[in-house]
Structure 1
Amino acid sequence: MEMKDATTALAALGQDTRLAVFRLLVEAGPAGLAAGVISDTLSVPPATLSFHLKELGSAGLVVAMPQGRSIHYRADFDAMQDLIGFLTHNCCGGDAAACRPARSAPGVGRRKSPAA
């Protein structure tokens, strides 16, 4: 993955709604979800969701799959793996085992704000 592609992907994920959409699609797996299901699940108006899906698609993170009269969206898992690989390339001086998180619970690795 090139620096420009990584920057575009990270910028797309750097917005709360888009990150929530992407995480939901990752959770849904290769089958993806219909736009209406995404909208209902995240309580995002359809027009707003359309904008965010377009941004994620432009960043190469989401793929649209027309199915009849609706459109299903799925995370592009190859792109996600490429981004993870880009971020962890040469992690910990090449010691991949040292780069693994201690736990995989939600929220692990979050930084606390300076005021906390």
Structure 2
Amino acid sequence: MTPESTVKVLESLASPVRLAAWRELVRAGLDGMVAGELASALNVAPNTLSFHLKAMLGASLLRVEQEGRFLRYRANIPLMQALIGYLTEECCAGHPEACGVSVSSCCQES
């Protein structure tokens, strides 16, 4: 990751709605959620959610797939793992294992 892409990802999460959407999509795992389900789960208006999802897509935090007339959103877990790795790569002078830092794998795609 570059400093620029790191800032873009972090900025895209700097909203309570976006952070809640990210966490909900992580919880949904590889199945993701269609926009209407996500809006209902977060108790936000669909047009409000659309605005936030667009910002998250712009930072590549989400993946979206057309399913008929619906859009299914999925969290980009590998990007988040890369972000955490970038933020912690210099931990303990470049030896994160000495600090007990590890990035667990979640939702691995086969």
- TM category (shorter chain) comes to 0.7 to 0.9
**Moved >3 Å (runs of 4+):** none
Is the CA contact 1:91–1:99 (under 8 Å) kept in the aligned structure 2?
A: no
Distance 1:99 1:60 in 2: 29
What TM-score do you get using the length of structure 2 for normalisation? Answer: 0.86
- Measured against aligned partners, the alpha-carbon deviations of 1:29-51 in whole angstroms (never above 9, x if no partner) come to 11100101110000010000000
The count of corresponding residues between Structure 1 and Structure 2 is 101
Is the CA contact 2:18–2:52 (under 8 Å) kept in the aligned structure 1?
A: yes
Q: 1:41 is aligned with what amino acid? A: A
Distance 1:95 1:18 in 2: 32
Q: Percent identity?
A: 41
**Structure 2: runs of 5+ lacking an equivalent:** 103-110
Other-structure match for 1:11: 11
What TM-score do you get using the length of structure 1 for normalisation? Answer: 0.81
Distance 2:17 2:57 in 1: 14
Distance 2:45 2:9 in 1: 23
Larger radius of gyration: 1
**Structure 1: runs of 5+ lacking an equivalent:** 102-116
